[in-house]
């Protein structure tokens, strides 16, 4: 099963483009969350991760919609991989069910972390 996860940081933002992309990707279940990505305890993320089963794939619009940091993203990817669950990112065209996809998630996550740190400077 393809399981979608859409997150925006505030109520003034819109889920529409993420939901449209997730639906077009064929997600059968989509979890929707309005919370800051920096918040460690996100209810819908936790529920989605508990819902996913071996053979499923979690689908996100972009990697930064899923995790709050590089370390957090890698923890999520490691947990999903250990449980036999894939991760697909539509924007970055990543699928962690393949070796090249697992490499790509690390590269893109590192670039996203670098970009976030540059904004802080």
State pLDDT tens for residues 18-70: 999 999 999 999 999 998 767 778 999 999 999 999 999 999 999 889 987 77
- pLDDT class of 121 with cuts at 50, 70, 90: low
Full-model pTM: 0.85
For position 73, what pLDDT does the model report?
Answer: 86
Scanning the chain, the segments in alpha helix (DSSP H) are: 16-24, 43-51, 70-82, 99-120
Considering the chain, what is the average pLDDT of its residues?
89
Interval 93-112 mean pLDDT: 84
Q: Is 17 part of the annotated catalytic residue set?
A: no
CATH code for residues 2-120: 3.40.50.1390
- pLDDT class of 71 with cuts at 50, 70, 90: confident
Total count of residues recorded for the chain:
121
| Top-confidence residue, 38 or 104 | 104
Catalytic residue among 9, 12, 69, 100: 9
Domain boundaries, given as residue ranges, for the chain: 2-120
For position 36, what pLDDT does the model report?
Answer: 78
For position 43, what pLDDT does the model report?
Answer: 93
Is residue 59 a contact partner of residue 88, using CB atoms and an 8 Å limit?
yes
Is residue 105 a contact partner of residue 76, using CB atoms and an 8 Å limit?
no
């Amino acid at each position: 099963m393809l399981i979608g996860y859409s997150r925006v940081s505030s109520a003034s933002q819109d889920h529409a483009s993420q939901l449209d992309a997730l639906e077009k990707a064929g997600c059968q279940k989509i979890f929707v969350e309005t919370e800051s990505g920096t918040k460690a305890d996100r209810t819908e993320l936790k529920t989605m991760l508990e819902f996913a089963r071996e053979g499923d794939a979690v689908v996100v619009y972009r990697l930064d919609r899923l995790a709050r940091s590089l370390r957090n993203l890698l923890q999520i990817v490691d947990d999903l991989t250990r449980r036999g669950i894939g991760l697909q990112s539509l924007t970055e065209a990543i699928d962690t069910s393949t070796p090249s996809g697992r490499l790509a998630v690390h590269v893109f996550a590192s670039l996203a972390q670098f970009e976030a740190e540059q904004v802080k400077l």
